[in-house]
Structure 1
């Protein structure tokens, strides 16, 4: 309902509504994205030792600059007497970047209650983390696009509705005039030269605790924009790869570079379905890293089976190519599992229904596709690689599935939209 009412403009180019109203063909789609848990294999944990007014902490932490003063304040000691050892973590994905520093605070409260010197270990159970966690916000994209008689896009309107992860916390300073850019990042500043475009945001408050989740806003904007664009290109009789290339702005050279690279890598010839296999494409920039993917999908019992992912990435100077490939593979697998299977649902009284991996489905090892990664040589400064491999995989799979079956998946996860 909030999406239908519209919101505040996050980006506006030309008169999108006039373009759509005057279009020869209008296409609409409403994308629904569920709450998602981080579901790291290693649950939240910490070890604290207190000796004569000095404290030493061992934990996986993405915000040690917040964990340290929180620990000091809780114990009532000077921050200079606190040492934090940041450990490698078995997955984080944003879960260990806590504005409330609640894990450090909890282990400190345990030590404080016990009194005196000693050592304490805190380990959350899987169920603790799943039902008491912080989730990717529930999100809706209500989209409308217009095509002229030649199949060209003449208007684009995207209304994004979700809860702000920045409002009310220490990161609120990143908001500008009440607008949270992490709520719609990726839906704005797209690489495509559209004559008329409007992106609106509607903030929806909720008591459900939310947090950044791997690739943050890009995890849903990449899906919505690249699936909807693919639908418009299809309706206009355009090739998914060449259609994107034709739309790219003059300054979108790095987007163009990864798309051309992945098309060559996958041997793209414009044929979306070959026998029982279909191919889908998506390209998305996040955290100043440019990624394009093409996937190969088949229909196995009414559900997509992803056989292979080709990926081209431009993350600036490639400092460690093996790490880049590993992060792309991990991000693709994490993203694939989330779009196919995952959601956090609320039962009566707000009870979280998914409590472990029996109900919050992980991608199985036999379901992990082969991933071939090409790193585009670049002289640009090195940028992020832990998150940008995730956003393109979902839309690429959705685009391949639509090519294969004619079914557009606009409500995630796939298990909610596709028969199994």
Structure 2
């Protein structure tokens, strides 16, 4: 009986502790678990900022810079609240620590509709954020960087400012409230005393950390919201910027890889006699399949060219593995067949869709398809590793996930994670590819063969394109019903595709994926259109194709499906595509404003002049919400004499909440449109017997300068908290172009890439 009471009492106490923990706010994100390393004359005021005696302000950054301008925007957040002199700002990558964990991207991955304001959603978000603060990871992705750090980096700046003011007040013997701060200078007007930050840096570090730093009213912002040049742009212009592939530690050797041509296959053996006879050869070795990658072989040599020539000279015996039977036709048939079975997960269900469709005066149906896509980062996969004889290592890696990178490298080298120092230089593009760590584990395994010598493993463009973690292929079926007056009464959508999250869980944690995956249906179920009855679902189909996060993830293809079908509904209802959308957004003023503004700027409804060569033009429109931001785009399109699709102009309007750096927002919209347009016109990975058929840019083109449309971006003024910017510009461009092509030709294209017959 005593034991029973003890057990019950213990469980009750644990439950009470758990309840108490759940009610507390997310734990502080200002002080790291270990002090930040500092240089002589430099003082760390919290986990996000160091101030030097030379007045330099160093901002610690927990997000990777891969061309999206995030280092500049994040530094602006802290510098604003610190009232720093922008010309004194420098940046430094943050160490691994839980205060830098990405909370926002995991919270946003919960499968709730944006219109859901209920308590279940709030509680789930609250608990997820608290959990991720303790057990999450540092990550750059999901267009979440500003959203995740909007609070912490501003609080860090405000806290450091208060500590500097406190130190000055103590030294000058004046009330802290009488000291003003502006552009890195502390002033006390009554006494005439003033000093720059550097004079009080060390004293400020001894001040207590403010318990509740006071943040500025946005009306007082002088830096946030103003266009700023990116901090790294000058170095990229003059060539001094250093990417991961530019790292040159003394004695560097190079490793070139050949992976099994069949995805998931391996090398069963090789003969290196011919390779050994080539100049610069050091060693040939088998490369295992690590973190979801494909196995193969590698050669280490003294120069990149020698390594590339030697690896080609290896006589390799390949074991293709289970993917040898995979081809594009069978893959798409498998996805389509899954839609014939009623075993999908329902993400949104309102009203009685089945009854409304059965009673409808008119129904329309359509099937849409999207192929796998490669990331094609301009800097191919690479990683430099130095494994020392004492069991320590340094890894230079272009990664979006430092925690996973260190774990993968440690496992491959059989050393503790604590013995690894990770350096994250600039990334030459990411787009989600560098959320994977296969190439890092591979580089670590190769470097293990030659301890105490730094080895840079790099992939050729061909290896990169044929061994990616691709955007999932998808097939979707849409159905809509109308009443006798042509008004929509029901909307139904179901899609089929592999699950990214299921595969990632297996790759990173060795666990089987299970349950729903929001990324499969995002862009389909979480949209603002006000259907009287609606049901949207998805069927996960397991296939031996490695899939991963691709810029805008599920939104990238679901926006094409959904916005193309909405246009089809407008035609069936006998309405203008703009007017039809407007009628479905009466309770969504934010979306309505973005849509109507884009149409107005583009001159929707006004006739378009012929092109210089006499070709007719037409407009297409699309509206899509993703990563918290609402984007509308209008594309102006014509056809060349050979039926080549030409996009002349794209008008884009985005509501992303408070635009931290308007320059950065416009740049990302332009980048996302070019990226999405490349995919819409050319993007397609095809498979034959498990082997990718596209090897380089001549077979998988990107948009060229002479094909790039004029892009006009307007940012909606807002004081709301910032939302995502890096990805939301990609989803609407494909449907906007497809809808313009229908207006131009009467041909409805339901498969990507867009090809006229």
What TM-score do the two structures reach when normalised by structure 1? 0.93
Mapping of residues 23-172 of structure 1, within 5 Å:
23-51=360-388, 52-98=390-436, 101-114=437-450, 116-170=451-505
CA contact (8 A) 2:371 2:472 kept: yes
Equivalent residue runs for 1:215-230 within 5 Å: 215-230=552-567
Alignment of 1:222-371 (within 5 A): 222-248=559-585, 250=587, 252-268=588-604, 270-271=605-606, 276-300=616-640, 301-347=642-688, 349-371=689-711
Conserved 8 A contact 2:624-2:732: yes
Q: Deviations over 1:161-184 (max 9, x none)?
A: 0001111433899x9971111001
Q: Which residue of 2 aligns with 1:17?
A: 354
Please state how far the C-alpha of 1:282 moved relative to its aligned partner.
0.4
Between the aligned partners of 1:257 and 1:177, the Cα distance in structure 2 is: 39
Q: In 2, Cα distance between the equivalents of 1:370 and 1:209?
A: 35
Contact preservation (8 Å) 1:345, 1:352: yes
Structure 1: give runs of 5+ residues left out of the alignment: none
> For residues 582 and 513 of structure 2, what CA distance do their matches in structure 1 show?
32
Give the whole-Å Cα distance in 2 for the aligned partners of 1:178 and 1:213. Answer: 21
The DSSP-based 3-state class of the residue aligned with 1:190 is: coil
3-state SS of 2:663 partner: helix
1:88 is paired with a residue whose SS is coil
The equivalent position to 2:734 in structure 1, one of 363, 375, 394, is 394
C-alpha deviations, 1:74-126, integer Å up to 9, x for none? 2233322212222222221111101xx21111111011112x31111111011
Structure with the largest fraction of helix: 2
SS at match of 2:454: strand
State the shift of 1:203 in Å.
1.1
User: Is 84-93 or 385-394 further displaced after alignment?
Assistant: 84-93
- Highest RCO, 1 vs 2 (Cα 8 Å, sep ≥ 6): 1
Q: Hey, what's the Cα distance between the residues in 1 that align with 2:621 and 2:513? A: 33
Distance 1:229 1:75, change over 3 A: same
Quote how far apart the aligned CAs of 1:274 are: 5.8
Structure-1 separation of matches of 2:404 and 2:744? 48
**Which runs of 4 or more aligned residues in structure 1 lie more than 3 Å from their structure 2 counterparts after TM superposition?**
271-275
Task: Find the aligned partners of 1:377 and 1:156 in 2 and give their Cα distance.
Answer: 33
TM superposition score normalised by structure 2? 0.53
In the alignment, the residues of structure 1 paired with residue 730 and residue 396 of structure 2 have an alpha-carbon distance, to the nearest angstrom, of 29
How far is 1:256 from its partner?
A: 1.6
When residues 12 and 274 of structure 1 are mapped into structure 2, their CA distance, relative to the original with a 3 A threshold, is farther
8 Å CA contact 1:280–1:399 kept in 2: the answer is yes
Instruction: Please state whether the residue corresponding to 1:183 is helix, strand or coil.
Output: helix
